Amino acid sequence: MNNCIIKNSRNTNSAPKNHLSTQTVAFSHYNNISAQLPLDPKTGNIVIGGIKEQAKQCLSNIKSIVESIGHVMDDLVKINIFVKEIEDIKIIDEIYTSFFDNSLPTRTVVAVAALPISDALVQMDALLSNGEGTTPQKPCALLKVSRNTVDAPLMNESTQTVAFSHYNNLSAQLPIDPLTGKLIDGGVEEQTKQCFNNIKAILKSIGHVTADIVKTTIYVKNIRDVDTVNDICNQFFYDYIPARTIVKATDLPMEALVQIDAVVSHGDGTPPQLPEDSRFIVIEASNTEKAPKSSYSHTVAFSHYNHLSGQLPIIPETGKIISDNITEQTEQCFNNIKSIIESVEHVMDDIVKVNIQLKNIDDLDIVNEIYVQYFKNALPARTIIGVSSIPMRALIQVDAVVSNCEGTPPQNKCYKLT
């Protein structure tokens, strides 16, 4: 579409470059940072050492990107950490907090089957606050608001929810009893309910409800639990079901069976935005017959972003996987995304972030050849992980975050903060 607020894509030589993604893509009041591998930007090689050295390099690369656009690490609102071995998070935490001076970002930690470089043990991506906005928005000294409640599990390495402008980003919630700090008894059904009860407690503590959620990412230990998890999750929503992506985790912290994180609309904004906005800015959930039907929304827009559900290589007319060929499956995933985006009058170049799951990480070269054909201008920020299985035995799943310059009512197309 004819953008009014302009997407700002940037790279720096101080961090590793990848011709298939942009290091950071800013739109309105957020920057989306591509997943950073433990690569030395000077050599392009993985740093020497073990998990501690690799984690430090990932964080140093993120820091270099953040500083290259005039920000600091304390401007981060969310970090996702993908590890090969879940136990490595204990070592990562030895250096993690040293990169921040004040309140910590929200965080998700998950073990995955593979990373884009075979010798990598860890990969991290991030979401950054962007108070200055992007052209033609006027810079505004928006405040980042970090909050915790004792009614949900407290973690030393993360904040439960961090609000900035019109979004709250929650730390992924495990099925932990906040009173004991331990996993609850029971199977995946009980654990899923506990994850959502923790999310509800966090939202209640900041004056929000589950209906304010725009996107959930659900990490499951066993792919066969997907139907059960979906059934439980849908019980927590009434008027609409937020966008959703299911990710198969090799392992989760505390040996949990499920972990859920959420992106939440925050109509009241953060100071100095006016609280009255909460009565007017609305969530717009959309579906199209040109993409596969599911029990959750294809895309949910709020303010200046659209969040898309994970798309499988399903033919919309039949509801079946297109084939067992990675080329055809990749094309179908991106055709489904394209159909959703076009149904809300956007184009593929409005995407700011793409997340790709691959059953076989060796398929990445084929995926990349197809991927670049869907964009005409600067490529989005991107994260790729390898997983041991994907719903419906697919070889690939893709989701995306899309810029939404027109905003949602009552925001005008060139909405500016003054």
pLDDT at 48: 96
pLDDT at 235: 95
User: Per-residue pLDDT averaged across 366-380, rounded?
Assistant: 98
Residue 413, pLDDT above cutoff 90: no
Residue 280, pLDDT above cutoff 70: no
pLDDT at 33: 98
User: Per-residue pLDDT averaged across 220-230, rounded?
Assistant: 97
Residue 410 binned pLDDT confidence (cut-offs 50, 70, 90) = confident
Q: What is the dihedral of CA 64, 25, 101, 264, to 10 degrees?
A: -160
Please write down the long-range contacts of 361-365, taking CB distance under 8 Å and 24 or more positions apart.
Answer: 361/113, 361/114, 361/115, 361/116, 361/118, 361/386, 363/326, 363/395, 363/396, 364/116
Residue 417, pLDDT above cutoff 80: no
User: Per-residue pLDDT averaged across 226-247, rounded?
Assistant: 95
pLDDT at 275: 58
- Write down how long the chain is: 418
Residue 276 binned pLDDT confidence (cut-offs 50, 70, 90) = very low
User: Per-residue pLDDT averaged across 324-340, rounded?
Assistant: 98
Top-confidence residue, 410 or 231: 231
Distance CA 373, CA 308 (A): 20
Residue 3 binned pLDDT confidence (cut-offs 50, 70, 90) = very low
∠ CA(406), CA(409), CA(415), 5° rounding? 45
Q: What is the dihedral of CA 408, 413, 414, 418, to 10 degrees?
A: -30
**Mean pLDDT of all residues belonging to the chain:** 94
Query: Each residue of 107-146: b (16+ CB within 10 Å) or e?
Result: bbbbbbbbbbeeebbbbbbbbbbbbbbbeebeebebbbbb
Residue 231's nearest CA partner among 295, 298, 312 is 295
User: Per-residue pLDDT averaged across 252-272, rounded?
Assistant: 94
Residue 406, pLDDT above cutoff 60: yes
Residue 277 binned pLDDT confidence (cut-offs 50, 70, 90) = very low
Distance CA 133, CA 53 (A): 34
Distance CA 396, CA 392 (A): 10
User: Per-residue pLDDT averaged across 316-333, rounded?
Assistant: 98
pLDDT at 138: 86
Residue 416, pLDDT above cutoff 50: no
Q: Which CATH superfamily is domain 8-403 in?
A: RutC-like (3.30.1330.40)
Distance CA 130, CA 70 (A): 10
- Domain range summary for the chain, segments of one domain joined by +: 8-403
Residue 1, pLDDT above cutoff 70: no
User: Per-residue pLDDT averaged across 340-354, rounded?
Assistant: 98
pLDDT tens digit string along 55-88?
999 999 999 999 999 999 999 999 999 999 999 9
Q: What percent of the chain has pLDDT over 90?
A: 90
pLDDT at 194: 98
pLDDT at 296: 95
pLDDT tens digit string along 177-215?
999 999 999 999 999 999 999 999 999 999 999 999 999
